[in-house]
Amino acid sequence: MKVFIGSDHAGFAVKGLVKELLEKRGFEVEDLGTYSAERVDYPDYAAKVARAVADNPGTWGVLICGTGIGMSIAANKIKGIRAAEVHDYYTAQMARAHNDANVLCFGERVVGPGVIESIIDAWCSTEFEGGRHAGRVAKIMALEE
Ligand code: RB5
């Protein structure tokens, strides 16, 4: 399974760790930038990753900025995207289990490497539960129309 990753300058320092953690778990990772710590605008990278996920059903995205907030707001503007800003194992697990989120967002200024690893663990090991949650996710997607 393929995962597109992206960050702004405020998420750049941990993007390599995220790539490594995903590859260790068998995912194919495509890094859509940014490629240096030079200041950039997070909506540009949110759009690149969100469009790649929307255009390639069955893939996921990971977006990192300072807080995770701007990336999630921007990514959710793209049709087909359910971007979730998470903070820990539990919120990452619920984003997959209940919301069928397809883009994971978090903040480099909020979580450290240990929490990032637990977020990636939860995200990669949790299936969407479907059932009653499927109808609710369908209602979210209907808001795009
Ligand atoms: C950049 O300073 C910062 O605003 C950005 O990374 C992000 O946290 C926005 O939501």
Please report, in tens digits, the pLDDT of each residue of the chain (145 residues total).
999 999 999 999 999 999 999 999 999 999 999 999 999 999 999 999 999 999 999 999 999 999 999 999 999 999 999 999 999 999 999 999 999 999 999 999 999 999 999 999 999 999 999 999 999 999 999 999 9
Q: How many Cβ atoms from other residues are within 10 Å of residue 43's Cβ?
A: 17
Which ligand 1 atom sits closest to the C-alpha of 10? 6
**CATH code, 28:** 3.40.1400.10
Ligand 1 center to 9 CA (angstroms) = 9
Whether 133 is catalytic is: no
State in Å: Cα 14 to ligand 1 middle: 14
| 3-state DSSP assignment of residue 65 | strand
pLDDT score of 5: 99
Residues at CB less than 6 angstroms from ligand 1 = 8, 10, 42, 65-67, 69-70, 107
Question: Residue 46's pLDDT is what?
Answer: 99
Write down the pLDDT at residue 101.
98
pLDDT at 111: 98
For 81, the domain range is: 2-142
What per-residue confidence (pLDDT) applies to 58? Answer: 96
Q: What per-residue confidence (pLDDT) applies to 82?
A: 98
- Concerning whether 65 is annotated as a catalytic residue, the answer is yes
What is d(CA 121, CA 93) in angstroms, rounded to the nearest whole number?
9
| Of 13, 39, 33, residue with least CA distance to 111 | 13
How many folded domains does the chain comprise? 1
